[in-house]
Amino acid sequence: MPAAVRHDWTRDEVVALFALPFNDLLFRAHAVHREHHDPNAVQVSTLLSIKTGGCPEDCAYCPQAARYDTGVQAQKLLEIDEVLQRARAAKDAGASRFCMGAAWRGPKDRDIPKVAAIVRAVKDLGLETCATLGLLGDGHAQALKDAGLDYYNHNIDTAPEFYGEIIHTRDYQDRLVTLEQVRDAGLKTCCGGIVGMGETREQRAGLLQALANLPAHPQSVPINQLVPVPGTPLANAEPLDPFEFVRAIAVARILMPRSIVRLSAGRQQMDDAVQALCFFAGAGSIFLGDKLLTTGNPDVAADHALFRRLDLHPMEVVEQANTVHADIAEGVAASCGQGCGCSAAA
């Protein structure tokens, strides 16, 4: 039987998954991944900072916070032509989704029409669109949806009980409210978190439990490994054991079987063998390009070479009803479920 989609995971259950012998955990996670996804297809996104630096928040991991001396200079919102140039290059390199981030606490009403115009222009290139703009105000999510936005990214970052150790300028509940607005507007959600910020394993379990127990599982779940940046409070954070990171990918896959789990920030610090384990454990998406907002990422040639070595291929984009979808989780919901690597809906 296909893995059931649940929203009632207990903390003890999630901690118990983390505690499984490593090979047993990976075996279980890969079985779930194969039930719901093509195990050799990887969704490829590119992330561009369309408004960099000067953020008033105090997220302890973020080099774009104005209060930290990280060398990141505040910049205005990019012009459409510059964004389109980068989007075309991303598509030519193999990306099917173009993600745009702005270093705001949240956009002002006057910002939304500008971002909406960018979204329309990128969508016209035949790319999926995703935006991460911070906390949304009334009507913002619907306006972005009307412009053709496919996904809205808004991470919960960490476990509810550890959140206050990382961020003080917005509440955990603020994030849940924005996620609700996004769902109500009919946008797909991209929501994950960061591991390696000094949290305990139980708190890592708490992050994944919180994601899995949202009213609807995020269609895209980025799991980031902290990239320590000089000048931020977490600059000297102790590195996370790479196998513990693989465990986080595997547990996320088990808890949210239909979601696409993204192997996100921190890949530049991982060797190819660790990345291969992450793909086996259920990661089905990466960011392509040498930069994620302001931090490093493997270069495009290295990723193409890794795909060849692992016999992976980019997930195909399927156009449906005047929009663009590369979301395999929806595509397999109506498929055969007869052992071909996909699954009928649970």
CA 225, CA 264: separation in Å to the nearest integer? 7
Per the residue annotation, which of 191, 262, 278, 342 is the catalytic one? 262
Question: Known catalytic residue: 340?
Answer: no
Question: Known catalytic residue: 191?
Answer: no
User: Is the pLDDT confidence value at 335 over 50?
Assistant: no
**Cβ distance 157 to 192 under 8 Å?**
no
Letter string b/e over residues 181-208, b meaning 16 or more CB atoms within 10 A of that residue's CB: bbbebebbbbbbbbbbbbbeebbbbbbb
Per the residue annotation, which of 175, 190, 204, 253 is the catalytic one? 190
pLDDT at 333: 31
Of all residues in the chain, what percent carry a pLDDT higher than 70?
A: 88
Question: Known catalytic residue: 99?
Answer: yes
Q: Is 106 exposed, middle or buried (0-12, 13-18, 19+ CB in 10 A)?
A: middle
User: Is the pLDDT confidence value at 62 over 60?
Assistant: yes
Which residue ranges form the domains of the chain, and what is each CATH number? Answer: 11-314 (3.20.20.70)
Query: How far from chain centre, in Å, is Cα 346?
Result: 24
252-342-131-59 Cα dihedral, nearest 10 degrees: 10
The H or E element that residue 165 is part of is helix 163-166
43-55 pLDDT, tens digit each = 988 888 899 888 8
Binding residues for [4Fe-4S] cluster: 55, 59, 62
**What average pLDDT does this structure show over 147-171?**
95
